[in-house]
Structure 1
Amino acid sequence: FSNFVIFIYYFLFQFSRWKMNDSFILPQPGSRYSISGGNLRISQLNKEEDAGIYQCLASNSFGTILSREASLHIAYLEEFKTQRRSPVSVREGQGVVLLCGPPAHMGGELTFSWIFNEYPSFVKQDTRRFVSQKTGNLYIAKVEPSDVGNYTCVVTNSVTQSRVQGPPTPLPKIEIQFPEVLAVAKGLTVRLECFALGNPVPAITWRRPDGVPFPRKVDVNKSSGVLEIPYFQQEDAGPFECMAENSRGKNTVKGRLSFYAPPHLVEKPQDVQKAIDESLLWECKASAKPKPSYRWLKNGEPLESFEVVNGALSISSLTLSDTGMYQCIAENRHGRVFTNAELRVIAVAPDFSYSVLKAQTLARQGGDVLIECRPRMSPRGMISWRKGKEALRESHRVSVLDNGSLRISNITKLDAGLYTCVARNQFGVASSAGTLVVKEPTIITSKATQLDVTVGESVVIPCQVSRDPTLDVRFTWFFNEQLINFGSHGGYFEKVGGTSAGDIMIRNIQLRHAGRYTCAVQTKVDSASIATDVVVRGPPEPPLDIKVDEVAETTSFVSWSPGPDNHSPVFAYNIQIRSPFSLGWQAAKTVPASLGGQQLTARVVELSPWVEYEFRVLATNSIGTGEPSKPSQKIRTKDTLPRTTPARVSGGGGSRSELVITWEVTKQALVAHLSAQRYSSCQWWTAHWPVSKTGPSCCQIVWSVI
Structure 2
Amino acid sequence: MTGCTMFRSSYFNLLLLIWIYTLYHSDCLKLWQPTKLTDIASGTSLHLSCIPIGLGPDEKIAKMSWFSPDGTSLQTSPNGRVSVMPRPEQLSMTIKKMQPSDAGNYTCVAIGEHDNILAKLTVPVKVFQSPDIMILPRENLEIAYGSNLVLKCMALGLGPDGNAPKLTWVTPDGYAVNNTFGRVSINRGHYTLTLYIQNIEASDVGKYTCRATGQKRSLLTEAFVLVAVYRPITYINCPQVQHLVTEQNGLIRCLADASPALHVSWKFKGAFIDDDDHYRQERKGLRISNVTHYDAGLYSCIAVVEHIGSFKRKDITVHVHNNPSIN
Between structures 1 and 2, the one with greater helix share: 2
TM-score (normalised: structure 1):
0.26
User: Normalising by structure 2, what TM-score?
Assistant: 0.49
* Larger fraction in strand: 2
| Larger RCO (alpha carbons 8 Å, 6+ apart) | 2
